[in-house]
Amino acid sequence: MNKIEGFSVEVMEMGYMEENRYYCCLFCDERVAKGVIYPVGEVLFEDWRFMEHHIEEVHGTIFERLLEGGRESTGLSDQQTKLLSFIYAGKSDKEIQQELQIGSLSTVRNHRFALRKKEKQARTLVAAMNLLNQQQKLVVSEPISQKLIEKSFKPPVELERYFSKEDGRLISYQLKEYERDLLVAHVALLFRPGKVYAEKEVNTILVDIFEDYMLLRRELVDRGLLTRNSEGSKYHLGPNLKDGEDREMDFKKEMKLKAKEEKPSYGIFQIKNLTNGKVFVGSTPNFKTLNGLKFSLNNGVSTLKDLQADWDFYGKEQFEFVELEAVDEKDWQGVNKKKILEQLLDKWLEKLQPFGDNGYNGVKKES
């Protein structure tokens, strides 16, 4: 059975799915952490684009992967599968006739017509099955006439300025990270523990809070407040969430802690080869971005060519990431972050001399 069967059409077309704080490839076990910028050569990719890059480099086109399951997966004959591949490649009817050794051009056109007919039949079947699944959910869920939202949403006092006074809805999601945590924590209070919600029910609840209800739904899932099945059709509260006032108090405590940790830690780091002792010394505006650097090395796309070569040769287990110095801004009054990092990096380069045979920092600059 094709590994990607069972996912929604939308997810199958992308080739990856969202799961908590990762994008997960449907064709292998590769995961890309969200919120990280990944270097590919001289280009920086956002998290989702890097997952697309992974799929392109490792698995080829999603179109090819969808067809590789054969008749059991697609319902198409070998001849029809080849025809689709040629059409996708942009070949003309004449070229397809020659490739498949079909007697006439009209035969190729008949095959095209048959494929279009199958597409219409598939759409009708999918629509019918969706209605069937919805009907089955309604049988085991609440009557459709019952109001889906058990209680109205009131934003936390700290975030009231972000809500419209006219209709009470969220105006924009341009919030600080801890404010987003606080918001989705309160939104989660609208969902009842133990109840399974269809995606349509979740959307109905969220659209009254924010116009971009899909973004809000994704945030609830990414932050672990809602859990969904692999198809994205059923949702329920995270397993460790309490009900009522206890849950709200827990959220508020957690948000206060997050607010204190909002500013990222930054400074100087080192990557050390434990086999030969060579090191790379660098600076970063956020130590969390080192996950992206590890990911690029694991996938062989780092721009640090010498380090990448040794990483591939010795294996990732032989390398150690160390934070050499985290910045204490109290010691750098009036100096911007870029200057701080430049001065600290110069200090550590002078101290460790990670050049030539000693390291991966390239040629030492002349003073």
Largest CA distance in the chain: 81
Q: What is the pLDDT of residue 74?
A: 80
User: Rounded CA gap, 288 and 264, in Å?
Assistant: 8
pLDDT of 248 strictly over 60: no
Query: Exposed/middle/buried for 51, CB within 10 Å: 0-12, 13-18, 19+?
Result: buried
pLDDT band at 148 (very low <50, low <70, confident <90, very high): very low
Domain(s) of CATH 1.10.10: residues in the chain:
157-260
Q: What percent of the chain clears pLDDT 70, i.e. is strictly above it?
A: 84
Span 322-352, pLDDT tens digits: 999 998 878 887 888 888 999 999 999 999 9
User: Rounded CA gap, 208 and 128, in Å?
Assistant: 28
Domain(s) of CATH 3.40.1440.10: residues in the chain:
267-358
Q: Which of 68-72, 100-104, 120-124, 147-151 has the lowest mean pLDDT?
A: 147-151
Helix axes 305-314, 290-298, angle to 10 degrees: 60
Q: Which of 73-87, 135-149, 269-283, 305-319 has the lowest mean pLDDT?
A: 135-149
User: Rounded CA gap, 202 and 188, in Å?
Assistant: 11
Q: Determine the topology of domain 157-260 in CATH.
A: Arc Repressor Mutant, subunit A (1.10.10)
Span 22-55, pLDDT tens digits: 888 888 878 898 888 888 887 888 888 899 999 9
- What's the mean pLDDT in 260-276? 81
Instruction: Please state, in angstroms and as integers, the Cα–Cα distance from residue 311 to each residue in 41, 195, 253, 257, 270, following that order.
Output: 16, 48, 42, 37, 14
Q: Which one of 3.40.1440.10, 3.30.920.30, 3.40.50.300, 3.30.70.260 gives the CATH number of domain 267-358?
A: 3.40.1440.10
Span 187-222, pLDDT tens digits: 888 888 878 888 888 888 888 888 888 888 988 888
Q: What is the pLDDT of residue 323?
A: 93
User: Rounded CA gap, 173 and 234, in Å?
Assistant: 25
pLDDT of 142 strictly over 50: no
